[in-house]
Amino acid sequence: MSAFVAMLSMNACSDADLHENLKTNEELVAKSSNEQPGIEADASHQWEANEKLTRLIESFGTTKNRFQEDVPLYPDYYGGAYITEQGSLTILLHGDQEKGKQAVHAVIGSDNMEFKPAEHSYGYLTTVMDELNEFALSKKDPSSLEFLTGFALMDATNEVEVQVIGLNNQKIAMLQKSVFNKAGIKFKESTGRVKAEVTIYPGCEVSRNASMAGSGSVGFGAKRNSDGKVGFVTAGHAILVGETAYYGSGTAVGTCVNSQQSGTVDAAFVTLNSPTTDNVSNTLCGTSNLLSVSTTLPGAGTTINKIGQSTGATSGTIISTNVSVIGGTGSTITNMTSANYTSAGGDSGGPVYTYISSTGTRPTAGIHMGASGSTRYYTKAGNILSTFGLSRN
Amino acid sequence: MIKWQYLTLAATLGVIACQGTGEAKRKDLPVQQVNNEIKTTDTIHDMELLVLPDTFEQKDSDKIGSYVLNNNLEQELIVPSSFIIERLIDDKWQLVPLVEMFVFEDITYAISPKEAKEFPLALSKILKDGANTKGRYRLVKEAWIYGKDEEKTKLTAEFLITDKK
């Protein structure tokens, strides 16, 4: 209730940031300071204030916002509210203070509450938030989203806080050319993107762009033999060495350390940036099926499966196990395998595997590369592992 | 990444970019008029496709060039790796066969607003005749605005294979 936090498509302003903001306000003693691991925090002393605030907001009635969601119809005098650590309700008033106090008293009485003047009405600030949400969700300006980590309506300070990585005048000027040029917006240096634990699934979308525009598919999990670094394999034409790999709604998950479109592979290896929190699953994207860590070299005529972010799961049979192809760069790749499953743009890098129902196993055969007419091609898993010095993980 | 300013200069060298919207078949694509200066700009979608260089020498056994897609839009542009190559024969564009071992990668690439992306075009390796036939050619490629997959635009860029450069 006290803080309306907007999440960008892939990030949000962090709890740590919000806590920090609370700590800067003398009336809002840092609630985190009393936290003890494993012990539930008691808010019973704030219950009465919360109940009053709920009643007050309910009295406003509702309206529809620009997303056609039901939201409170905040009166112009209401500037927001917050509850102190001691349990008292503080209400911010915009405009005529006396008129505002009378309106509040008429609904929830006058006990145990304080008033403070507010420059902006809460209704105005929520409108600003809606505009920022629309800006972020529409991804109209991907370059701005690269350095924006979140924005939040801060009740206590009566402003909309916009968090920017590497805040400087140039970025502020750039943002102010769009929806960020509004009264009540305050820019603040971001402490970084909030990053949830990410599980990466073979066959799901991976991109070299945070916006996820232009993408391939995750191949399979692997571990580098020399130092044990874990990551995943994808197509070499999907990402280049040094590029960041983005997953899900645009979370940076890893860095490409190997990428090759020659020899016997069109493949890349991406090491995870946060191997302690993120992991590469063997569960195939959108299924409960487990990809086996064993690799296989199925012969011509074998039934084969492919899973990719564009066409999902498709199957076919192997045509040849020793094919040379020319890729988009003009270089020849040898010892590829051809098959007749279907695929489309975006499936590159997705795992190709056999399914042995009698044992319930799905040995990894390789990763999808591309198409020539109705024929599909994949790089053998064994060639990828030996070329980059990896083990299936 | 090649900046758009550079491409503007390149466009004056005589390269084509034109478009037909939707899922038009090849025969529906507009036939270009033969001009000394070949340049058409897609004024509807502000996308430009260029082949660099725009002229290849027939006797050159290693005809390696590139194609550049210029995105002058405010949105990200998506392009697949696939394309077709056509040659103008008797005032009709006809499909030029590619070598069977040439594989289009199943990937989509994003081009940021106001930027361009360059892709290799190894003509002598991918045309079945080794790109040894003189003539007027064009590269045909689809592109679409990110999130609008159903509204594909066909872009073309012409180039020549001549016996003199």
Could you report the per-residue pLDDT of A338-364, keeping only the tens digit for each? 999 999 999 999 999 999 999 999 999
Q: Which of A189, A211, A227 is the last residue before a domain boundary? A: A189
CATH superfamily for domain B4-162: Immunoglobulins (2.60.40.10)
Tell me whether strands A113-118 and A89-94 are parallel, antiparallel or unpaired: parallel
Is there a contact between A377 and B101 (Cβ–Cβ < 8 Å)?
no
Is there a contact between A304 and A352 (Cβ–Cβ < 8 Å)?
yes
Q: What is the dihedral of CA A303, A307, A311, A315, to 10 degrees?
A: 10
d(CA A265, CA A349): 11
pLDDT of A65: 82
d(CA A320, CA B32): 42
A-chain residues near B147 (CB < 8 A): 139
Tell me the pLDDT band of A17, cut-offs 50, 70 and 90.
very low
Q: The domain containing residue A367 runs over which residues?
A: 303-386
Tell me the pLDDT band of A192, cut-offs 50, 70 and 90.
low
pLDDT of A255: 95
Tell me the pLDDT band of A194, cut-offs 50, 70 and 90.
low
Q: Does A16 touch chain B (CB under 8 A)?
A: no
**Residues on chain B bordering chain A, Cβ-to-Cβ distance under 8 angstroms:** 64, 74-76, 78-82, 99-113, 119-120, 122, 125-126, 146-147
Cβ-Cβ contacts under 8 Å between A and B: the total is 104
Is there a contact between A211 and A368 (Cβ–Cβ < 8 Å)?
no
Number of domains into which chain A is organized: 3
**Same domain flag for A125 and A60:** yes
Considering only the beta carbons, identify the residue of A207, A328, A346 that sits closest to B119: A328
Classify A106 as helix, strand or coil: helix
**Same domain flag for A207 and A134:** no
**Same domain flag for A138 and A250:** no
Count H helices and E strands in chain A, helices first: 7, 25
- What is this model's ipTM? 0.73
Domain spans of chain B, in order of start: 4-162
Instruction: Write down the residue that tokens 């990719």 correspond to.
Output: A308
**Same domain flag for A167 and A207:** no
Can you spell out the DSSP letters for A218-251? --EEEEETTT--EEEEE-TTT--TTPEEEETTTE
d(CA B118, CA A244): 20
Residue A203, phi-psi category: left (phi > 0), alpha (psi -120 to 50), beta (remainder): left
Helix axes A97-108, A47-59, angle to 10 degrees: 110
Tell me the pLDDT tens digit for each residue of A270-287. Answer: 999 989 889 999 999 999
A121: its two tokens: 């009405």
- Residue A94 C-alpha, separation from nearest chain B C-alpha, in angstroms: 38
A70: its two tokens: 């039901």
Is there a contact between A305 and A355 (Cβ–Cβ < 8 Å)?
yes
Instruction: Write down the residue that tokens 């390149």 correspond to.
Output: B10
pTM, entire model: 0.63
d(CA A153, CA A135): 16
pLDDT of B159: 96
Q: Does A310 touch chain B (CB under 8 A)?
A: yes
Q: Dump strand ranges (E) for B81-134.
A: 84-89, 92-95, 104-105, 108-111, 115-122
pLDDT of A207: 95
pLDDT of A228: 94
Cβ pair A370:B113 closer than 8 A: no
Query: Which of B105, B123, B127 best tests the A interface by mutation, with the highest count of A CBs <10 A?
Result: B105
Q: Which of A170, A189, A208 is the last residue before a domain boundary? A: A189
- Residue B35 C-alpha, separation from nearest chain A C-alpha, in angstroms: 31
A215: its two tokens: 């993408």
The amino acid present at A322, given as its one-letter code, is N
Cβ pair B106:A346 closer than 8 A: yes
The reply to whether A288 falls in a domain is no
Tell me what the mean pLDDT of segment B106-110 comes to: 95
Is there a contact between A31 and A45 (Cβ–Cβ < 8 Å)?
no
B25 pLDDT exceeds 50? no
d(CA A147, CA A252): 13
Q: Dump strand ranges (E) for A130-197.
A: 148-154, 159-164, 185-189
- Among the ranges given (A25-34, A49-58, B64-73), the one the predictor scored with the smallest mean pLDDT: A25-34
d(CA B32, CA B44): 17
Cβ pair B107:A348 closer than 8 A: yes
Q: Does A377 touch chain B (CB under 8 A)?
A: yes
Classify A336 as helix, strand or coil: strand
Cβ pair A143:B105 closer than 8 A: no
Tell me the pLDDT band of A29, cut-offs 50, 70 and 90.
very low
Contacts of B31 (CB under 8 A, 6+ apart): B88, B91, B92, B93
Tell me the pLDDT tens digit for each residue of A58-95. Answer: 999 998 887 777 889 999 999 999 988 888 899 999 99
Percentages of chain B per state (helix, strand, coil), in multiples of 5: 10, 45, 45
Tell me the pLDDT tens digit for each residue of B77-105. Answer: 999 999 999 999 999 999 999 999 999 99
A368 pLDDT exceeds 90? yes
Tell me the pLDDT tens digit for each residue of A141-184. Answer: 777 777 887 788 888 899 999 988 878 888 898 888 888 899 99
**Same domain flag for A102 and A125:** yes
Q: Does A143 touch chain B (CB under 8 A)?
A: yes
Tell me what the mean pLDDT of segment B123-134 comes to: 94
- Residue A40 C-alpha, separation from nearest chain B C-alpha, in angstroms: 45
**Same domain flag for A355 and A379:** yes
B-chain residues near A327 (CB < 8 A): 103, 105
CA A247 to chain CA centroid, Å, is 8
B-chain residues near A235 (CB < 8 A): 105, 107
CATH code: domain of residue A247: 2.40.10.10
Cβ pair A346:B108 closer than 8 A: yes
B20 pLDDT exceeds 50? no
- Among the ranges given (A71-85, A123-137, B36-50, B62-76), the one the predictor scored with the smallest mean pLDDT: B36-50
Cis bond leading into B53, ω under 30°? yes
d(CA A224, CA A390): 4
